[in-house]
Structure 1
Amino acid sequence: MRKWKRLETADGLRFRSALEPHEAALLSSLGASMLGMLEERGSSGPTDELEAITGMKTGNPQPPEDATMKRLLPDFFRPQTEHPAGSGTAESLNSALRGLHEPAIIDAKRQAAQCLVDTVPDGGGRFELTEGDAEAWAAAVNDIRLALGTMLDIGGSGPDQLPAEHPMAGHLDVYQWLTVLQEYLVLGLMGK
């Protein structure tokens, strides 16, 4: 991955870079996996009779059971203190907010991941993104990093390094590569 080159053109901002063939294949695969995860969650909600009548899509009111999806779709409300009425109040509020907003959040994440998959150059090489595509890439790479980071248990005290024999050691290298890719892209979007 090369740094992104920001260009002012007659058609607006453009961002150019290049990917090695293995990098392009990896990004395509990770983007497709993200799309699959989001599709599974998006279709996991119960059927809603109101949606059939009004066309308003409602989401799954239950939080994801999978830790990766929990990281991508966290609770909307986290009480700062114990509520006198118990934790049921926060759960009820999160359930209602999830039902209202999760479909739009999943759609936005899905669109970003699809943009990434659609614009990764087949077989690698030089490529150019519009400003909107670059913003979608930043969002999609962030989601992929969050998912991979959750699987690797990366956090405030997560591993900076894994032993070479660890089954996820190669994934940590991918996580770090995605971090650099995202950083370069964000700096390009900021004009730095």
Structure 2
Amino acid sequence: MNGWRRRGGLVVTALSEREAGLLRGLVGQVRDMLAARVAATPPDELAELTGITVGPTTAPTDRVLARLLPDFHREDATLSGGLRALHEPELVAVKDGVAGVVLDTCPARGGRVRLSDEQAQAWLSALNDVRLALGTVLEVTEDMPDELPPEDPRAAHLVVYHWLTWVQESLIQALAGP
């Protein structure tokens, strides 16, 4: 990948088969985690009668999901639970939607990617979710070195994290450019 650039009204790049597969796999994993969260939510009879979708009132116990679906109010657990029940379904739906845009527009075998500005915004959101998830697993901090020793089991994954950061920054620059 040589970075994103503006071409007319579109933002374009080319991905190798390996890059496309990696990106699609990571986005798919985040999407699957969110779907599992939804599936684990018990049905709400009142919601079924009213048509109002409600989510769980408790934060995810999985730290990656907790990072993707943070508390809505940190100082008041009851208020946070109520806000979560009302807003988490919409948040998950948005995250699922942006993941779907990436999966729909990223060629499985690599190749050219051409995005409208709206699709590019979806890519930015999905890339952010993947980076949050991977960064949580790797325990990325501001103090973390850019490279880890080769014997560190996180070393290869950190390279992927930095690549995702570069892809996201390149896309932001292309969107901001002329």
Q: Tell me the equivalent position of 1:168.
A: 154
Residue 182 of structure 1, CA deviation: 0.1
Query: Following TM superposition, by how much is the alpha carbon of 1:159 offset from its aligned partner in structure 2, in angstroms?
Result: 4.5
User: What is the rounded CA distance, in whole Å, between the counterparts of 1:161 and 1:92 in structure 2?
Assistant: 42
SS state at 1:164 partner: coil
Question: Residue type matched to 1:76 in 2?
Answer: F
Query: Within 2, Cα distance between the matches of 1:142 and 1:62?
Result: 23
Q: Does 1:6 align with 2:6?
A: yes
What are the Cα deviations for residues 33-76 of structure 1, in whole angstroms up to 9, with x where unaligned? Answer: 11100101122222111111011110111100011011111111
Does the CA-based 8 Å contact 2:5-2:171 persist in structure 1? no
Of 130, 150, 158 in structure 1, the residue corresponding to residue 136 of structure 2 is 150
Structure 1: which amino acid aligns with 2:42? P
TM-score by length of 2: 0.95
Structure 2, unaligned runs of 5 or more: none
The 8 Å contact of residues 138 and 182 in structure 1, kept in 2 or not, is answered as yes
Q: Report Cα offsets for 1:54-106 as digits up to 9, x if no partner.
A: 11110111100011011111111123xxxxxxxxxx11011000000000000
- Relative to its length, the structure with more helix (as a share) is 2
Aligned residues, how many? 178
Partner of 1:95: 81
The match for 1:106 among 75, 82, 92 is 92
Provide the C-alpha distance between the structure 1 equivalents of 2:35 and 2:148, rounded to a whole number of angstroms: 31
Question: CA–CA distance in 2 between the matches of 1:123 and 1:50?
Answer: 45
3-state SS of paired residue (1:154):
coil
**What SS does the aligned partner of 1:35 have?**
helix
Q: Based on CA coordinates, which of the two structures has the bigger radius of gyration?
A: 1
**Structure 2 counterpart of 1:136, one-letter code:** A
Q: 1:61 aligns with which of 49, 57, 60?
A: 57
Letter of the 1:23 partner, please give it: E
Shift of 1:167: 1.7
User: 1 CA distance for matches of 2:158 and 2:62?
Assistant: 20
Residue 177 (structure 1) aligned with residue 150 (structure 2): no
Partners in 2 of 1:21 and 1:144 — Cα distance? 19
Q: Percent identity?
A: 43
RMSD: 1.3
Unpaired runs of 5+ residues, structure 1, are: 80-89
